[in-house]
Amino acid sequence: MGDGKPPQTTPATRGRPRTITRERIAEAGIEIGLPNITFVGVAAALGVSHMALYKHVPSLEALKRLVAEEIFSRWQIPQACGTGRDELKTYLTVFTASAREFVKAHPGLTPFVIRRLAATRPMIAKIDGHQSHIAKAYGISKAHARWLLATVAFHCIAVADTVYSVAGREPLEGADRAAEEAEMETELVQGMNALIVGALAMLEEEIDRDG
């Protein structure tokens, strides 16, 4: 029999709110891809409202920078292979091949890498650390390493972005997309080899001039 007291009810439990972290935002953005990122899209991938996402990231541009920074942080930039200036050409060839594949794998990243004002502090710190590593490994000054790597990287990334952007479009009627991309890649590699040879010649002239 009842004791006259009203029956107790268990309070309704609400689902635990989703935690919005920088890591989860970056993962969602990488999955969507920089060219297709929207606030609504990232919020949906996180299972939150776009207004909730705004509390963590103030603008679409800031959202893209966050994702670009995370992508760049994951790039395993090749480390020095060999020592001495005679090995620099081999290293730069490996470096440009890595940069080329990096651009190909991440459409939309190029503006955040080659525009100094768009790069974030962690991105700049990673670039600076790489320049210091190469300067020490190959016995050149930090200023020379900065110029050499910046020159090679800038042209490689910019041209690779153009090549893969064009290759990704619908081919002209009767054209073979794979063959077209292979041809452009070959020209890109040849062009980068020419640039590396020229840049190293200029570097040697500058080193000799500086005494």
Radius of gyration of the chain (CA): 25
CATH dotted code for 77-210: 1.10.357
Nearest to 53 by CA among 71, 73, 67, 68: 67
Please, what is the Cα angle at 37 between 52 and 161, to 5 degrees?
150
Q: How far from 192 is each of 86, 88, 116, 200, CA to CA, in Å?
A: 18, 14, 22, 12
Q: What pLDDT score does 181 carry?
A: 83
Model confidence pLDDT, tens digit, residues 62-89 = 999 999 999 999 999 999 987 777 899 9
What does the alpha-carbon distance between residue 198 and residue 211 come to, in Å, rounded to a whole number?
Answer: 20
Q: What pLDDT score does 136 carry?
A: 94
| Least confident stretch, 15-19, 56-60, 198-202 | 15-19
CATH class of 22-72: mainly alpha
DSSP one-letter code for 92: H
Q: How far from 172 is each of 41, 162, 176, 188, CA to CA, in Å?
A: 32, 17, 8, 21
What does the alpha-carbon distance between residue 71 and residue 180 come to, in Å, rounded to a whole number?
Answer: 28
- Give the pLDDT mean for 167-179: 64
In this predicted structure, the answer to whether residue 50 has a pLDDT above a threshold of 60 is yes
Q: Label residue 192 by pLDDT band (50, 70, 90).
A: very high
User: What's the number of CA atoms in the CB half-sphere (13 Å) around residue 100?
Assistant: 22
Tokens 């525009």, residue?
115
Model confidence pLDDT, tens digit, residues 11-43 = 444 444 568 999 999 999 999 999 999 999 999
Number of H helices, E strands in the chain: 9, 0
Q: How far from 55 is each of 30, 32, 49, 132, CA to CA, in Å?
A: 20, 20, 10, 37
Sequence spans of domains, the chain: 22-72, 77-210
- Give the pLDDT mean for 140-155: 95
Model confidence pLDDT, tens digit, residues 97-124 = 999 999 999 999 999 988 877 788 999 9
